[in-house]
Amino acid sequence: MTQEAKGAVSVVNPVTEAGRKAPRNYDAVLLASFGGPEGQDDVIPFLRNVTRGRGIPDERLEEVSQHYRANGGISPINAQNRVLKTDLEAELASRGIGLPVLWGNRNWAPYIADTLQEAYDAGHRRLLMITTSAYSCYSSCRQYREDIGVALTDTGLDGRLAVDKVRQYFDHPGFVEPFIEGTAAGLAKVRADLAAAGTPDAPVHVLFSTHSIPLRDAEAAGRSEDEPRRFAEGSAYVAQHLANGAEVIKRADAVTGAAAPTPWSLVYQSRSGAAHVPWLEPDINDALDELAGQGVKGVVVVPLGFVTDHMEVVWDLDTEAKETCERLGLAFDRVPTPGTHRKFIAGLADLICERTMANYITDRPAMTDLGPWYDVCRPGCCANFRGETPSIAGADSTVGR
């Protein structure tokens, strides 16, 4: 189960000056997110939105709804995004950047289409979008660009309102450093718990958890018409997580003064869909069973694939994975998501400054050899196997100033 650091790429990162876009003037920042229900009556309509077009009956949705109903029908993501919006706006203002931060969701109010219409009605003509998804795959990047393309078409704003998008920021310091802090603290806590139980030298393992996706989507992640790199395990999505995991462990071990590298693994959670369709594995609960069989006595679970606390974090990790650890007698700690961490807020502001005329940042910091990612998604990147859908390219729109 120990995850060895793997070669991430076979050629040098090609993101040079040619991969950057020149700064522009923007009217506002669009914070785009997944969305979540905010009461028991919202749960089934929300799940219908999430699964739209898949033909999933309400009976099956009612089964999934129990995760939300056990938490009052409320996902914590909307509350976190309200704080994130306010804090990001304040951070920009502190730098002399007077851009309002607008907020739109994919699956629940405030919906992206409504936010775009309100932005246009307020006189905005060029928006810079930042999403609460850090990695490269269809659902984390391309689908958001498609959401914008569809919303612009449906509202009649295509050609009148321009929306550009910042780069995927999986290895930006503002995203990674909160995980380093949390992992170091989690290792210290679990080791202290084991010491208190009389087993100070018991083996401890770190599990970096992310959302599982279909293998076909994983293989398409980062693949494009002009991408020369070959990624670990054939997927930019997987390679980005592996690279981040190696960096987090190295730095967390330095903080804790570990005598030897802490063993770690990349695991997956929140699988859905037809059983015959292959998805990324292993599932975190299967991994926990295996680790316990190998003599591991404590685990630190790091939600490395998540920006904020989706229900997948609250249920799949804080509930199911924790219960698995209790059954197996494993000491357990779950690291926080970046959420509204001050370093994450500052990092998002830096990403905005990479693309704006105000306080323009020429540097593109990255904590792994895979980054910095492209300012603009490459042609054909992260293919949509569900059919052709209008999407924004990411930064080449010509509407507005």
Q: What is the pLDDT of residues 54-68, one digit of tens each?
A: 878 888 899 889 999
What integer pLDDT is reported at residue 228 of this predicted model? 79
Taking residues 367-372, what's their average pLDDT? 94
Question: Which element (helix H / strand E) includes 90?
Answer: helix 77-94
User: Confidence band (pLDDT; 50, 70, 90) for 117?
Assistant: very high
Q: For the segment 49-100, what is each residue's pLDDT rounded down to a tens digit?
A: 999 888 788 888 998 899 999 999 999 999 999 999 999 999 999 999 999 9
Residue 363 exposed, middle or buried by CB count within 10 Å (0-12, 13-18, 19+): exposed
Q: What is the DSSP letter of 297?
A: -
**What's the rounded Cα separation, in Å, for the pair 366 and 373?**
8
Look at 380 and 340; give whichever has higher pLDDT.
340
Domains annotated for the chain, with CATH where assigned, are: 17-169+341-353 (3.40.50.1400), 173-334 (3.40.50.1400)
Query: Residues near 145 by Cβ (< 8 Å), separated by ≥ 6?
Result: 165, 377, 391, 392, 393, 394
The pLDDT of 111-115, averaged and rounded, is 98
Alpha helices in 12-57 (DSSP H): 43-50
Is residue 148 scored above 70 in pLDDT?
yes
SS3 393: coil
- Residue 72 DSSP code: T
Report the side by side order of strands in the sheet with 101-105: 101-105, 28-33, 126-131, 162-165
pLDDT tens sequence across 301-341: 999 999 998 899 999 999 999 999 999 999 999 999 999 99
Q: How far apart are the first and last CA of the chain?
A: 53
pLDDT of residue 56: 85
* Mean local confidence (pLDDT), 235-264: 97
The pLDDT of residue 396 is 42
> Which residues are CB-neighbours of 286 under 8 A, at least 6 positions away?
none
* pLDDT for position 177: 98
- Compute the average pLDDT of residues 122-141: 97
Q: What is the pLDDT of residues 34-48, one digit of tens each?
A: 999 999 999 999 999
How high is the pLDDT of residue 274? 76
DSSP run (H or E) holding 269: strand 264-269
Instruction: Check whether 11 has a pLDDT greater than 50.
Output: no
